[in-house]
């Protein structure tokens, strides 16, 4: 049995469970100690609700993790006109990362991991007390496993080379510490990339087996902002896709596609779904609820404000992305220009709730069209699904967007359709990495061209770990190229 890993969480990590349950559920902050809070099922349940809070931090899904990936990959660009830039996002766009200027995801992700671990460490013996059933305990544990897996998945995607490269070229490549139990004094080393992915899969498979089919966390505004069984299965499909485990990727995508709770948006619906407060029908499987009270930072500097000419406007759309769409493709209508600068566009996937508050918008993490595209790619790579082929799945998406159906499909076609369908949702950079494609940015506005295009393999596919983390934990090894 593998050695249980531990992580430094410090004072804020210790206090996380006692102070963050009001992020998504309107509950008073617990004034008790962590030990007392975790001594009851009610306290554990509130702690899990609060553990979703850091996902909305400005360096994670609210919106740095998403928009940084769009800028690095060539879907996004920084306008050069002074009226449409606040000076933000220079580092991800120019890939000018250093050990002193890197992503802040690390700390927030390990806060969530710490919260999930603390709850799971205190779940034993709660079934049968005060009418609490074993299924209630299992559902709560499944939520924690989902959060732990998602957090480690985002960490290993950002701070390590892709699994497919590590497995075939260097199985010893370092990933991130996979933390199973929390210890304020722990100084864990980095686990191997291949091991981290295997741990993620193990957590998600257990979550899938534990969670009841109809489980839905009560008390929140947005039911899609919490883990459900379809969310677990959808994340499994994505993780398996990143691993090149094609049959498993297809099988778990099929489970979600066959779930009657979800359907693809029609062409008519597609333009109007992006600013909803709570999705009513359709594709959303898991998302971050956009609310100023929901941010772990205490405010919401969301993607709507960063991608609007009425806001900071720092993240515009590259012209080569805009030009990919056919005239009849509704996705091509999700761009907004301005009268004073020709050929400058921003995405309309984050219009602001009610179209009046541009900084407030939900951030979709997983939706149904991704499952069709996952399955299409998996089938094209050899997976078998009864009664379906890759052409069926890619056309299921494009026909619902108004695009001309394909008569044949290649892996390059699927890659392009993923770019078109999932633009500004944080996928393209990681799609380049996992498929080991060189990244070429055509519409690139930075003066420094050194990092415009990135070959594969290259050290820049893994971001540096912050110096502060390295200094605090001497067992951490920095990524190549950032010493």
Helices assigned H by DSSP within 407-465? 411-421, 428-434
Domains, the chain, ordered by start:
10-472 (1.25.40.390)
* Spatial distance between the Cα atoms of 57 and 452, rounded to a whole number of angstroms: 28
The answer, yes or no, to whether residue 25 has pLDDT greater than 90, is no
Give percent of the chain above pLDDT 70: 90
Six-digit token string for 16: 């996380």
pLDDT digits (tens, 9 = 90+) for 453-481: 999 999 999 999 999 999 999 999 999 99
Q: What pLDDT, on a 0 to 100 scale, did the predictor assign at position 22?
A: 31
The answer, yes or no, to whether residue 432 has pLDDT greater than 60, is yes
Q: What pLDDT, on a 0 to 100 scale, did the predictor assign at position 6?
A: 40
User: Cβ atoms within 10 A of the Cβ of 310, count?
Assistant: 12
Distance, first Cα to last Cα, the chain: 34
User: Cβ atoms within 10 A of the Cβ of 330, count?
Assistant: 19
Average pLDDT over residues 105-132: 95
pLDDT digits (tens, 9 = 90+) for 130-173: 999 999 999 999 999 999 999 999 999 999 999 999 999 999 99
Phi-psi region of 387 (alpha: psi -120 to 50; beta: other; left: phi over 0): left
Q: What pLDDT, on a 0 to 100 scale, did the predictor assign at position 419?
A: 99
The answer, yes or no, to whether residue 75 has pLDDT greater than 80, is yes
Whether residue 407 contacts residue 422, with contact meaning beta carbons closer than 8 Å, is answered with no
Six-digit token string for 159: 């701070």
pLDDT digits (tens, 9 = 90+) for 397-423: 999 999 999 999 999 999 999 999 999
pTM for this structure? 0.93
* Spatial distance between the Cα atoms of 350 and 338, rounded to a whole number of angstroms: 17
* Spatial distance between the Cα atoms of 102 and 476, rounded to a whole number of angstroms: 16
Lowest average pLDDT, out of 274-288, 383-397, 429-443, goes to 274-288
Whether residue 56 contacts residue 62, with contact meaning beta carbons closer than 8 Å, is answered with yes
pLDDT digits (tens, 9 = 90+) for 214-229: 999 998 889 999 999 9
User: Cβ atoms within 10 A of the Cβ of 302, count?
Assistant: 31
Angle, CA of 24, 28 and 33, to the nearest 5°:
105
Which candidate, 208, 230, 355, 361, places its Cα nearest to that of 283? 230
Q: What pLDDT, on a 0 to 100 scale, did the predictor assign at position 353?
A: 84
Q: What pLDDT, on a 0 to 100 scale, did the predictor assign at position 479?
A: 96
pLDDT higher for 279 or 354? 279
* Spatial distance between the Cα atoms of 68 and 60, rounded to a whole number of angstroms: 10
* Spatial distance between the Cα atoms of 109 and 106, rounded to a whole number of angstroms: 5
* Spatial distance between the Cα atoms of 149 and 212, rounded to a whole number of angstroms: 18
Classify burial at 297, counting beta carbons within 10 Å of its beta carbon; exposed 0-12, middle 13-18, buried 19 or more. Answer: middle
pLDDT digits (tens, 9 = 90+) for 325-350: 999 999 999 999 999 999 999 999 99
Whether residue 178 contacts residue 195, with contact meaning beta carbons closer than 8 Å, is answered with yes
Contacts of 447 (CB under 8 A, 6+ apart): none
Average pLDDT over residues 64-74: 97
Contacts of 474 (CB under 8 A, 6+ apart): 187
Average pLDDT over residues 300-310: 82
Whether residue 103 contacts residue 158, with contact meaning beta carbons closer than 8 Å, is answered with yes
Q: What pLDDT, on a 0 to 100 scale, did the predictor assign at position 10?
A: 37
Any idea what DSSP says for residue 279?
A: -
Query: Rounded to a whole number, what is the largest CA-CA distance in the chain?
Result: 66
Number of H helices, E strands in the chain: 19, 6
* Spatial distance between the Cα atoms of 438 and 407, rounded to a whole number of angstroms: 27
In DSSP terms, which residues pair with 366 in a beta bridge? Answer: 286
* List of long-range contacts for 322-326, beta carbons under 8 Å, 24+ apart: 324/416, 324/419, 324/420, 325/403, 325/420, 326/402, 326/403, 326/404
Which candidate, 109, 139, 140, places its Cα nearest to that of 38? 140
């Amino acid at each position: 049995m593998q050695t249980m890993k531990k992580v430094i969480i410090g004072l804020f990590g210790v206090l996380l469970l006692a102070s963050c349950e009001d992020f998504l559920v309107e509950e008073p902050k617990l004034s008790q100690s962590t030990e007392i809070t975790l001594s009851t099922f009610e306290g554990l349940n509130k702690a899990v609700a609060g553990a979703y809070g850091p996902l909305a931090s400005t360096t994670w899904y609210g919106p740095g993790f998403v928009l940084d990936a769009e800028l690095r990959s060539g879907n996004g660009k920084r306008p050069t006109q002074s009226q449409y830039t606040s000076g933000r996002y220079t580092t991800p766009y120019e890939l000018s990362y250093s050990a002193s200027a890197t992503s802040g995801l690390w700390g927030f992700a390990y806060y969530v991991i710490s919260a999930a671990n603390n709850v799971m460490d205190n779940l034993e013996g709660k079934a049968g007390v005060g009418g609490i059933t074993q299924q209630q305990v299992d559902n709560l544990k499944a939520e924690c496993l989902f959060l732990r897996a998602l957090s480690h998945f985002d960490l290993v995607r950002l701070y390590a080379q892709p699994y497919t490269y590590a497995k075939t070229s260097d199985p010893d490549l370092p990933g991130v510490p996979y933390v199973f139990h929390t210890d304020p004094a722990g100084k864990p080393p980095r686990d191997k990339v291949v091991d981290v992915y295997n741990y993620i899969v193990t957590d998600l498979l257990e979550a899938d087996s534990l969670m009841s089919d109809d489980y839905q966390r009560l008390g929140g505004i947005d039911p899609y902002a919490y883990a459900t069984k379809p969310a677990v299965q959808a994340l499994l499909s994505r993780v398996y896709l990143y691993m090149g485990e094609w049959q498993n990727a297809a099988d778990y995508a099929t489970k979600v596609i066959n779930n009657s709770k979800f359907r693809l948006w029609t062409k008519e619906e597609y333009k109007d779904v992006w600013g909803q407060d709570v999705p009513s029908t359709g594709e959303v499987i898991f998302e971050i609820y956009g609310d100023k009270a929901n941010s772990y930072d205490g405010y919401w500097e969301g993607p709507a404000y960063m991608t609007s000419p009425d806001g900071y406007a720092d993240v515009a759309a590259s012209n080569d992305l805009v030009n990919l769409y056919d005239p009849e493709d509704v996705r091509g209508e999700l761009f907004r220009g301005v009268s004073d600068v020709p050929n400058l566009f921003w995405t309309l996937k984050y219009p602001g709730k009610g179209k009046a508050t541009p900084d407030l918008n939900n951030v979709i993490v997983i939706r149904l069209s991704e499952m069709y595209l996952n399955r299409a790619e998996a089938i094209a790579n050899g997976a078998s699904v009864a009664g379906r082929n890759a052409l069926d799945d890619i056309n299921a998406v494009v026909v619902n967007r108004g695009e001309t159906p394909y008569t044949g499909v290649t892996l390059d076609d699927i890659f392009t359709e993923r770019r078109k369908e999932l633009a500004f949702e944080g996928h393209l950079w990681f799609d380049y990495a996992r498929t080991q494609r060189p990244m070429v940015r055509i519409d690139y506005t930075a003066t420094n061209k050194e990092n415009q295009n990135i070959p594969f393999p290259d050290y820049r596919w893994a971001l540096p770990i912050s110096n502060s983390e390295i200094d605090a934990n001497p067992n951490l090894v920095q990524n190549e190229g950032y010493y």
